[in-house]
Amino acid sequence: MGLVIFDLDETIVSLDTDVAWSNYLLKHKLVKDIDSFKQEKEAYYRDYLSGRLDIHRYLREFVLKNLKQHPLDTLFEWREQYIKEMIQPFVLHKAIDCMQKHRAKGDYTMILSGTNEFLVAATSELFPVNFWVATRLEKAENYFTGNVVGEPLSGIVKLHWLQDWLSKHSEFCMEETTYYNNSHNDLTFMSTVGHPVAVDPDNKLRDHAEAHKWPIVTFR
């Protein structure tokens, strides 16, 4: 039995779930200043694509600033519709087939994403995985507080999380771990596992995968 990890955004869904949430809020006019919100969203996404995103600032000043304004009951109602409108049409069924093949072999499947748990929890229900991990958000009473629990699962923090998890699950090891990912932003993580797989990779990841003879696959 091996550990098989799947990235979420642009890997097993053909979009960025965080951006899709922002687009859902804009579509239904659920933000106060639409023009400002749209400009911020686009600026942060450009930073992400270029590898310059300040994840702490992004969460504090954009994602959580908006989430904490609404009670959880309301957010959960919005999220249910968001999944139907913005996520289900973009689920990649080849990714589901891949997961099912791994599970048929007895592998343990996991979604590991730097996206916040509010979105990842609901999105993961669309996939046949054993477990999911995401950036955790602090809650108090019926609201998000605007704080992250621990560190955001971004960059090297993802790798540290996996190393800690493996230390508590001796039936798995890094050398026998498979990791499916689309982005050069996770090259350090991919270079550490035994079986990295580039999925519909961006140009930087494709070049690296070809140079190191990593498998390159498509879920599209």
- Which of the residues are catalytic? 7, 9
| Residue 220 in tokens | 């599209």
Q: Is 128 exposed, middle or buried (0-12, 13-18, 19+ CB in 10 A)?
A: middle
| Residue 178 in tokens | 């498979």
CA distance 177 to 8: 17
Q: At what angle do helices 17-27 and 34-50 cross, to 10 degrees?
A: 170
3-class state of residue 30 by DSSP: coil
Around Cβ 211, how many Cβ atoms within 10 Å?
A: 8
CA distance 118 to 17: 11
Separation of CA 139 from chain center = 20
Phi-psi region of 150 (alpha: psi -120 to 50; beta: other; left: phi over 0): left
Distances in Å between the Cα of 163 and the Cα atoms of 154, 159, 160 are: 14, 6, 5
